[in-house]
């Protein structure tokens, strides 16, 4: 039983460690997943709350993995792990049956599983969590109770800082379709295939207070007002190389081809909602626009909001770049922040930043550097950053475990003998 308990501890600990980590470094993605869940029950629009809820859930998940591996408060965290897996086993069964969302998001963007695959994965892991829960009193404490809570608080603070850093900047590694080095023009060309679903962009217009949906091939006359766009699966199949990138102007005319045909550098600012760009972010974007204008480099802004909201953003806040519209999901995919900038060169993604991380001082050097080399260096830095952070976390866990083994001996209440944790 001791060996099985140890195996269960390692499996559950590493599972929660990996699952929580890939979501802690992508808090915006976690917030989007929470938003999808809340939409099922009719709750929408609380974007900041969804971000906080997603971050809290991922931190709790990662903290559970660390605690199980280190041995902190095992009775408590073994129960937490059991409740987590039991809840998500039931949830993913319901998702698999009714299919309200395509992906439960249990591994963020790192690993994509269908709802049925996720359910069976949870079903396999649940017995290990049950065993840990009912054997939790067999684990020897690694430190006095107040020490354990102190170490737990330390890890929680560390993970919260990591999540805040990733929110203010960008995820340490970009796992989305528009990752650095992607040639958007090439990826937009596709061939039909039997294994991957085909999607269609619907344009939402209003007239006389009512909403109407139109396809790209069936646009309305000028008496209709453009409001939004949505993407849906329409049943055909296309290759995995396809990505959605449909950009329209205020009249609803698509300018994707002309945008991607621009030779040389192009800077694209992004925001899923126009009201997310406050005065400070707009000031930074205007400053970047002025700098690029002096170098004859174009810059635009892609917004997920409707035409009227974009007009208000332009006139009310003095935003200088021209504003175009695309689907919110596309914006979140091209830049994983609530306000960011993407540097394209000949339609290839070279680099990207959040609005708080725009490299004004290094901009001249970046523009002089070879775009392919710059994109390659950024990809290398991304992987090094995420690997270093994960390694540092594991080193801290191992160092704490060794420290407690050396300086703490648990006394058995029955025999009075000291035991190593």
Q: What is the mean pLDDT of residues 100-120?
A: 82
Lowest mean pLDDT among 100-109, 126-135, 341-350: 100-109
Q: What is the pLDDT of residues 156-189, one digit of tens each?
A: 999 999 999 998 888 888 888 888 888 888 887 6
Q: Nearest-CA neighbor of 21 among 49, 45, 55?
A: 55
The average pLDDT across 21-33 equals: 89
Higher-confidence residue of 416 and 44: namely: 44
Q: How many CB atoms lie within 10 A of CB 29?
A: 24
Q: Which is nearest to 59 in space by CA: 178, 149, 189, 152?
A: 152
Model confidence pLDDT, tens digit, residues 243-271: 678 898 888 888 888 999 999 999 999 99
Element at 54 (helix H, strand E): helix 47-70
* Fold (topology level) of 184-369: Glutaredoxin (3.40.30)
Choose among 50, 119, 118, 28: nearest CA to 337: 28
CA 106 to chain centre: 12
What span, in angstroms and rounded, lies between the C-alpha atoms of 348 and 326?
18
pLDDT at 416: 44
End-to-end CA distance of the chain: 17
Mean pLDDT over 286-295 rounds to 95
Is residue 358 scored above 60 in pLDDT?
yes
* Region 374-379 average pLDDT: 88
Interatomic CA distance for residues 85 and 119, integer angstroms: 10
Token pair, residue 385, equals 């950053």
Q: How far apart are CA 324 and CA 48, in angstroms?
A: 24
Whole-angstrom distance, CA of residue 229 vs CA of residue 214: 9
Joined together, the tokens standing for residue 88 give: 């998500």
- Cβ neighbours of 401 (radius 10 Å): 16
Residue 371's closest CA among 341, 344, 398?
Answer: 344
**42: which DSSP letter?**
T
Q: Measuring CA to CA, which residue among 83, 194, 213, 205 is closest to residue 136?
A: 83
Contact of 88 with 106, CB cutoff 8 Å: yes
Q: Where are the domains of the chain?
A: 2-168, 184-369
Q: How far apart are CA 410 and CA 142, in angstroms?
A: 7
């Amino acid at each position: 039983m001791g060996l099985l308990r140890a195996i269960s501890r390692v499996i559950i600990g590493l599972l929660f460690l990996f699952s929580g980590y890939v979501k802690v470094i992508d808090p915006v993605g976690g917030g989007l997943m929470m938003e999808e869940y809340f939409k099922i029950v009719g709750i929408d629009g609380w974007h900041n709350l969804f971000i906080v809820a997603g971050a809290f859930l991922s931190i709790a998940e990662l903290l559970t993995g660390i605690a199980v591996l280190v041995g902190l408060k095992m009775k408590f965290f073994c129960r937490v792990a059991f409740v987590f897996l039991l809840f998500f086993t039931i949830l993913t069964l319901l998702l698999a049956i009714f299919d309200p969302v395509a992906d439960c998001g249990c591994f963020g963007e790192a690993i994509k599983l269908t709802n049925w695959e996720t359910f069976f994965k949870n079903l396999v892991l649940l017995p290990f969590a049950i065993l840990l829960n009912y054997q939790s009193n067999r684990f020897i404490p690694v430190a006095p109770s107040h020490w354990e809570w102190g170490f737990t608080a330390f890890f929680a603070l560390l993970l919260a800082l990591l999540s805040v850093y990733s929110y203010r900047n960008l995820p340490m590694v970009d796992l989305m379709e528009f990752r650095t080095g992607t040639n958007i023009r090439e990826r937009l060309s596709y061939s039909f295939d039997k294994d991957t679903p085909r999607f269609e962009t619907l344009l939402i217009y209003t007239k006389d207070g009512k909403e109407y949906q139109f396809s790209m091939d069936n646009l309305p006359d000028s008496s209709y007002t453009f409001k939004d766009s949505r993407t849906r699966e329409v049943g055909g199949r296309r290759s995995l190389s396809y990505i959605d990138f449909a950009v329209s102007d205020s009249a609803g005319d698509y300018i994707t081809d002309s945008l991607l045909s621009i030779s040389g550098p192009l800077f694209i600012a992004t925001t899923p909602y126009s009201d997310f760009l406050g005065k400070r972010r707009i000031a930074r974007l205007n400053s970047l626009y002025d700098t690029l204008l002096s170098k004859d480099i174009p810059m635009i802004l892609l917004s997920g909001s409707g035409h009227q909201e974009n007009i208000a953003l332009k006139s009310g806040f003095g935003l200088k770049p021209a504003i175009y519209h695309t689907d919110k999901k596309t914006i979140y995919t091209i830049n994983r922040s609530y306000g960011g900038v993407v540097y394209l060169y000949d339609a290839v993604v070279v680099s990207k930043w959040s609005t708080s991380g725009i490299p004004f001082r290094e901009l001249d050097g970046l523009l002089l550097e070879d775009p392919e080399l710059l994109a390659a260096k950024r990809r290398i830095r991304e992987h090094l950053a995420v690997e270093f952070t994960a390694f540092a976390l594991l080193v801290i866990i191992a160092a704490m475990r060794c420290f407690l083994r050396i300086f703490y001996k648990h006394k058995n209440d029955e025999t009075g003998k000291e035991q190593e944790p």
